[in-house]
A = this chain, B = another copy of it.
Amino acid sequence: MTASILVVEDEPAIQELIAVSLARSGHAVQRAASAEEAMRSIAGVLPDVVLLDWMLPDESGPILARRLRNEARTREVPIIMLTARASDEDKVAGLESGADDYVTKPFSPRELEARIQAVLRRRTPQLSKEAVEIEGLVLNPATRTVAGAGKSLKMGPTEFELLHFFMTHLDRVHTRAQILDQVWGDHVFIEDRTVDVHIRRLRDALSASGHDDLVETVRGAGYRFLSKR
Contact = CB atoms under 8 A, between A and B. Distances in A.
A28 B140 CA distance: 9
- For chain A, give the interface size range: 35 or more
A29 B221 CA distance: 34
A220 B156 CA distance: 9
A129 B27 contact: yes
A143 B224 contact: yes
A44 to B, nearest CB: 6
A13 interface: yes
A147 B44 contact: yes
Query: Which secondary structure characterizes the binding site on chain A?
Result: mixed
Contacts of A100: 21, 24, 109
Interface string A31-74: 10000000000001100000000000000000000000000000
Contact of A13 (B31, B96, B108): B96
A59 to B, nearest CB: 19
Contact of A110 (B31, B44, B118, B133): B118
B92 A140 contact: no
A131 B28 contact: yes
Nearest to A144: B173
Interface string A1-37: 0001000000001000101110111111111000000
13 contacts: A4-B142, A23-B128, A23-B130, A28-B141, A29-B129, A29-B131, A30-B130, A44-B147, A91-B106, A95-B106, A95-B108, A101-B109, A142-B173
